[in-house]
Amino acid sequence: MEEKIKIIDEIVKRHPTSGVDKGWSWYRGGMEDTGDWYFRKMLDVSMEELQTFLDKLVADESFPTKVYTEQELIDIKTWHSYGGYWMSEYSRKQIEKFNRDRDNKLLGNV
């Protein structure tokens, strides 16, 4: 039981949005941004399920954050209207690169 509580303690250190889908927490965003964990509900779950959930949370947190170049930061802040839609210059370049790579792959130019 003590080990289960240690796992739960590690889980509840994270933001409560993580457990909403499982029914282990509640969260309301917006200006208040409130939420909390249901400790008792997690006590009813097996230790293996809690450990799997914690492992997934830790793995999700360990993804490296993207570091943008100065030009990418400028492109993110530069917006244009394309065909009635607004998008950043960064997004436009990403779409252009995706289409170019796809076309090259289809043509066998990879």
Beta carbons of 35 and 15 less than 8 angstroms apart: yes
- The predicted pLDDT at position 1 comes to 85
Q: Are residues 17 and 40 in the same domain?
A: yes
Q: Are residues 56 and 74 in the same domain?
A: no
With a cut of 80, say whether residue 110 has pLDDT above it: no
Query: What is the number of structural domains in the chain?
Result: 2
Q: Are residues 7 and 54 in the same domain?
A: yes
Q: Are residues 54 and 82 in the same domain?
A: no
Of 30, 29, 24, nearest to 11 by C-alpha is 24
How confident is the model over 25-45, as pLDDT tens digits?
999 887 778 899 999 999 999
How confident is the model over 65-92, as pLDDT tens digits?
889 999 999 999 999 887 788 999 999 9
- For residue 90, the enclosing domain spans 70-107
Q: Are residues 14 and 47 in the same domain?
A: yes
Distance CA 15, CA 37 (A): 9
Distance CA 80, CA 99 (A): 19
Q: Are residues 79 and 29 in the same domain?
A: no
| Better pLDDT: 8 or 110 | 8
Average pLDDT, the chain: 90
Q: Are residues 14 and 42 in the same domain?
A: yes
Distance CA 16, CA 107 (A): 47
Q: Are residues 74 and 50 in the same domain?
A: no
